[in-house]
């Protein structure tokens, strides 16, 4: 394998063979291919794109660069969900225990925050003792005994993705749909899934702001995952406002506990969570129809089974045994909690959702550099949904901050992120389409 010949062929718009791609990724994993060559390959792919067969070959080569889990002893369908990221998107925290309570095995490999979007692992690290990076033996035990485990990517799963992503991140090639597709799916396929459901976010709080771009990414993900042998579907969901009424880390965990106690019915978060649950259960063959699947998912929430699964997962991964009973005893509160008053009377008609995420980051709830520590206490709670009527000076959210100066700055940022109108805004669907 001559790396520069593979780069040249992709640069000139030629289709690479599966053998070409496998050899290049094998060289990348062994560091026999230089960082400059990887960067050139990424840039050539960014401009020239890849065919469906090329992306499948790239995904499989990256999957096979490390360990690939098998679940022959699971005794139930092995399924997972992936979100492309947003603000206030804590769906995974409730979804995994809900579908596990309905009969799925869910080894959920999750990530940390990226840019303005929150990370599932960062949220779980708000829980004292919770181990987000256990060994494979612990992962298997927890999935077998509890039904689900939400953990991070170990160094042995798709290591080629880690190196390629780091180089993409500093060469302005992150947005390449073929490379995004292979990055997401290589990790998911390495987890040994049988079925996968994708939540592709669209709107001003998503990486794909335009619906046509989100649809293109969803189409690529679905086609490649199915081509690689994993039954996959995708939902496009709206991210033009925070999904939950909280944005941060510990505050979103507390929000998830409230959801699992049945306190978030009728919200946009409720709609997305149960749409994804129904999709996962139908994809896995547990139910024949989405209506039946959603009814079963709502039943395990209502009778407390899902909450029990969440509690047992937290404890099995090192967290407190009584976390569900008294989360407030374990989730550290910010020292300063202040209301965010409306600047005028009117309807909340629009939100610059990305700015909400950036405000959380500025509070310390995200990373500006990879080595930064996260303040799990900070964020926003009690965010009113778009369409809500507020009077001047009425709180439409609360900020949780490390000090009063940071709180005042965050209040101004959140006030600037929301638009007030005299007219009632029209309803916006939260589920845009299915692919």
Is the predicted pLDDT of residue 371 greater than 70, yes or no?
Answer: no
Domains of the chain: total: 3
- Whether 112 is covered by a domain: the verdict is yes
pLDDT value at residue 156: 82
Q: What residues make up the domain containing 379?
A: 333-421
Judge contact between 420 and 347, C-beta under 8 A.
yes
82 is annotated as an active-site residue: yes
Tell me which of 183, 232, 237, 381 is the catalytic residue. 183
Tell me which of 168, 315, 354, 400 is the catalytic residue. 168
315 is annotated as an active-site residue: no
Q: What is the mean pLDDT of residues 275-290?
A: 97
183 is annotated as an active-site residue: yes
Tell me which of 188, 298, 312, 400 is the catalytic residue. 188
pLDDT value at residue 369: 65
Tell me which of 10, 63, 76, 82 is the catalytic residue. 82
176 is annotated as an active-site residue: no
Among residues 281, 316, 351, which one ends one of the domains?
316
Q: What is the mean pLDDT of residues 182-206?
A: 93
Q: Which is more confident, 335 or 374?
A: 335
- Whether 304 is covered by a domain: the verdict is yes
CA-derived radius of gyration, the chain:
22
**108 is written with which tokens?**
């959920």
Is the predicted pLDDT of residue 6 greater than 80, yes or no?
Answer: yes
pLDDT value at residue 74: 80
Alpha carbon distances (Å) from 324 to 310, 312, 313: 8, 9, 11
- Whether 287 is covered by a domain: the verdict is yes
- Residues 409, 266 share a domain: no
**Measured in Å, how far apart are the chain's first and last C-alpha atoms?**
37
The β-bridge partners of 152 are 110
Q: Compute CA 74 distance to the chain's CA centroid, rounded to the nearest angstrom.
A: 24
116 exposed, middle or buried (CB, 10 Å; 0-12, 13-18, 19+)? Answer: buried
Q: What is the 3-state secondary structure (H, E, C) of 110-144?
A: ECCCECCECCHHHHHCCCCCCCCCCCHHHHHHHHH
Tell me which of 29, 45, 65, 83 is the catalytic residue. 83
- Residues 96, 226 share a domain: yes
Is the predicted pLDDT of residue 96 greater than 80, yes or no?
Answer: yes
Is the predicted pLDDT of residue 144 greater than 70, yes or no?
Answer: yes
- Residues 358, 385 share a domain: yes
- Residues 341, 300 share a domain: no
- Residues 89, 234 share a domain: yes
Binning pLDDT at 50, 70 and 90, where does residue 171 land?
confident
Binning pLDDT at 50, 70 and 90, where does residue 48 land?
very high
9 is annotated as an active-site residue: no
- Whether 62 is covered by a domain: the verdict is no
Q: Are strands 195-202 and 79-83 parallel, antiparallel or unpaired?
A: parallel
Q: At what angle do helices 404-417 and 353-360 cross, to 10 degrees?
A: 170
- Whether 251 is covered by a domain: the verdict is yes
- Residues 245, 173 share a domain: yes
81 is annotated as an active-site residue: yes
Tell me which of 10, 116, 187, 298 is the catalytic residue. 187
Instruction: Report d(CA 104, CA 80) in Å as an integer.
Output: 9
**277 is written with which tokens?**
């649950």
The helix, strand and coil proportions of the chain, stated in percent and rounded to the nearest 5, come to 45, 15, 40
213 is annotated as an active-site residue: no
Work out the mean pLDDT of the chain and round it to a whole number: 93
Instruction: Report d(CA 122, CA 131) in Å as an integer.
Output: 11
pLDDT value at residue 370: 62
- Whether 189 is covered by a domain: the verdict is yes
- Residues 307, 210 share a domain: yes
187 is annotated as an active-site residue: yes
pLDDT value at residue 326: 96
Is the predicted pLDDT of residue 13 greater than 80, yes or no?
Answer: yes
CATH number of the CATH domain containing 15 = 1.20.970.10
pLDDT value at residue 309: 98
- Residues 310, 174 share a domain: yes
- Residues 152, 258 share a domain: yes
92 is annotated as an active-site residue: no
pLDDT tens figures, 286-306: 999 999 999 999 999 999 999
- Residues 270, 392 share a domain: no
Instruction: Report d(CA 185, CA 230) in Å as an integer.
Output: 10
- Residues 122, 168 share a domain: yes
CATH number of the CATH domain containing 252 = 3.40.1030.10
Q: What is the mean pLDDT of residues 179-189?
A: 91
- Whether 108 is covered by a domain: the verdict is yes
Q: What is the mean pLDDT of residues 5-26?
A: 96
Q: What is the mean pLDDT of residues 52-73?
A: 93
Q: Which is more confident, 117 or 203?
A: 203
Percent of the residues in the chain that have a pLDDT greater than 70, as a whole number:
97
CATH number of the CATH domain containing 406 = 3.90.1170.30
Q: At what angle do helices 177-190 and 211-227 cross, to 10 degrees?
A: 40
- Whether 199 is covered by a domain: the verdict is yes
- Residues 262, 156 share a domain: yes
pLDDT value at residue 367: 73
Tell me which of 10, 81, 123, 315 is the catalytic residue. 81
Tell me which of 20, 64, 80, 199 is the catalytic residue. 80
């Amino acid at each position: 394998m001559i790396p520069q010949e593979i780069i040249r062929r992709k640069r000139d718009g030629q289709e690479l063979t599966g053998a070409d791609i496998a050899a290049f990724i094998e060289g990348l994993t062994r560091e026999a291919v230089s960082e400059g060559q990887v960067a050139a390959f990424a840039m050539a792919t960014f401009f020239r794109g890849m065919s469906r067969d090329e992306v499948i070959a790239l995904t499989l080569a990256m999957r096979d660069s490390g360990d690939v889990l098998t679940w022959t002893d699971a005794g139930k369908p092995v399924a997972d969900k992936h979100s492309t990221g947003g603000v206030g998107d804590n769906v995974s925290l409730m979804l995994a225990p809900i579908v596990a309570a309905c009969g799925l095995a869910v080894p959920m490999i999750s990530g940390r925050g990226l840019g303005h979007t929150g990370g599932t692992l960062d949220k779980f690290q708000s829980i004292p003792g919770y181990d987000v990076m256990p060994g494979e033996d612990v992962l298997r035990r927890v999935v077998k005994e509890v039904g689900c485990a939400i953990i991070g990517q170990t160094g042995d799963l798709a290591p080629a993705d880690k190196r390629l992503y780091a180089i993409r991140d500093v060469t302005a090639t992150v947005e390449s749909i073929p490379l995004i597709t292979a990055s997401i799916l290589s990790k998911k396929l390495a987890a040994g899934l049988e079925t996968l459901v994708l939540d592709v976010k669209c709107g001003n709080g998503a990486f794909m702001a335009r619906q046509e771009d989100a649809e293109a990414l969803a189409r690529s993900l679905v086609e490649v995952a199915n081509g690689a042998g994993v039954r996959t579907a995708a939902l496009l969901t709206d991210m033009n406002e925070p999904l939950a009424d909280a944005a941060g880390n510990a505050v979103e965990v507390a929000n998830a506990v409230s959801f699992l106690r049945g306190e978030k019915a009728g919200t946009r978060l409720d709609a997305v969570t149960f749409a994804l649950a129904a999709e996962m259960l139908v994809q896995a063959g547990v139910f024949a129809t989405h209506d039946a699947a959603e009814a079963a998912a709502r039943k395990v929430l209502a009778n407390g089974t899902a909450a029990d699964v969440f509690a047992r997962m937290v404890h099995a991964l090192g967290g407190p045994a009584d976390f569900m009973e008294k989360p407030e005893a374990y989730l550290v509160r910010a020292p300063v909690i202040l209301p965010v008053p409306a600047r005028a009377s009117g309807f909340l008609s629009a939100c610059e959702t990305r700015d909400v995420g950036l405000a959380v980051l500025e509070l310390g709830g995200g990373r500006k550099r990879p080595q930064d520590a996260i303040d799990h206490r900070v964020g926003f709670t009690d965010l009113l949904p778009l369409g809500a009527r507020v009077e001047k000076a009425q709180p439409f959210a609360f900020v949780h901050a490390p000090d009063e100066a940071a709180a005042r700055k965050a209040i101004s940022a959140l006030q600037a992120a929301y638009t007030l109108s005299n007219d009632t805004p029209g309803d916006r669907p939260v589920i845009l389409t299915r692919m």
